[in-house]
Amino acid sequence: MESKPIEHSIEDTDYPKKESKSATFFKELSKNKHYYVLMAPYMIIFLLFTVIPVVISFGLSFSYFNMLEFPRFIGWSNYSRLFLSDDIFSIALKNTFMFAIITGPISYIACFIFAWIINELSPKVRAFMTLVFYAPSISGNVFFIWLIIFSGDSYGYLNGILMKIGIILEPIQWLKDEQYILLVVIIVQLWLSLGAGFLAFIAGLQTIDKSLIEAGAIDGIKNRWQELWFITLPSMRPMLMFGAVMQITQAFAVAEISIALAGFPSVNYAAHTVVTHLMDYGTIRFEMGYASAIATVLFVIMVGTNMVVQKLLRKVGA
């Protein structure tokens, strides 16, 4: 049950009528000053390390800046260089979209399907299975285990097994062969992707009003698919939207896993992403203006996709 926020609007209070607008505004501010004080510590840090950096990044993207000299305004040339003459960036962009288009929807649907099946289990099994599926995403940086599994010599688990049963004769260089790198990174990314969104789905499924389902049965819901589309999905739309934000942001941010598995830079840039490109220019070449342009492009891609998907999800079951 959600209770309505307590309104402290200007209309409720009896101010003398002659007071100017700005005076009522300041009265309102001082009346609510405790709230601003409570929010201040968080908001100062949030402004300093999230809001202002986005603005700085946008500003710097129109400049040449190498950390030593003062930034010099160069207009759109960072962007034109990025899109017209940077071949590596187009590879990075293509890879990032590949990752996002595959891992985004798959991980989102996987989050939902697993949550849906897990929700059918008895409470103890449910708690255990939730742990099994959620554990990889919080087990820190254990994904280097996959390095051993996909190791390029015959001691690698995958090679060892495939050679033992005779599918391959020679070990495959999973992390050095351009053919496989992207696939391997996608698999590990998917393994790590059942995070906060997954938990939100399980929790959301558990809170669906049982009487809705019963009412649906009376209204002629015939099978579980109809129940899913007409009752379950619409009742957990807020969680679906939250999960989408989590999965989309994650899907576009592939970098650490790519670096850990495929190296930096990866063979022939096969696992190079927009974020690793950003790291390249930001932390190695110190072309901060150019790196800021990459960051701004990344920001636009992430927020833009999120906004579009939010719009689409509002239509689910409606």
Distance between the two ends of the chain, CA-based, in angstroms?
Answer: 23
CA distance 69 to 287: 11
CA distance 281 to 93: 15
Q: How far is the CB of 264 from another protein (least distance, A)?
A: 13
Asked whether position 91 contacts another protein by CB under 8 A, the answer is no
Query: Considering beta carbons, is residue 43 or 84 the nearer one to another protein?
Result: 43
Binders of another protein among 1-20, rule CB under 8 A?
1-9
Pick from 134, 180, 230, 264 the residue near another protein by CB under 8 A: 134
Pick from 66, 144, 183, 229 the residue near another protein by CB under 8 A: 144
Asked whether position 136 contacts another protein by CB under 8 A, the answer is yes
Asked whether position 70 contacts another protein by CB under 8 A, the answer is no
Burial of 107 by CB count in 10 Å (0-12 exposed, 13-18 middle, 19+ buried)? buried
Pick from 204, 261, 272, 280 the residue near another protein by CB under 8 A: 204
Helix (H) or strand (E) holding 72: strand 72-73
How many alpha carbons fall within 13 Å on the CB side of residue 90?
7
Asked whether position 169 contacts another protein by CB under 8 A, the answer is no
Contact segment (CB under 8 A) with another protein among 82-90, 97-105, 175-183, 274-282 equals: 274-282
**The tokens 């959600």 sit on which residue?**
2
Asked whether position 167 contacts another protein by CB under 8 A, the answer is no
Burial of 234 by CB count in 10 Å (0-12 exposed, 13-18 middle, 19+ buried)? middle
Contact track, another protein, 275-304, x by CB under 8 A: x--xx--xx----x--xx--xx-xx--xx-
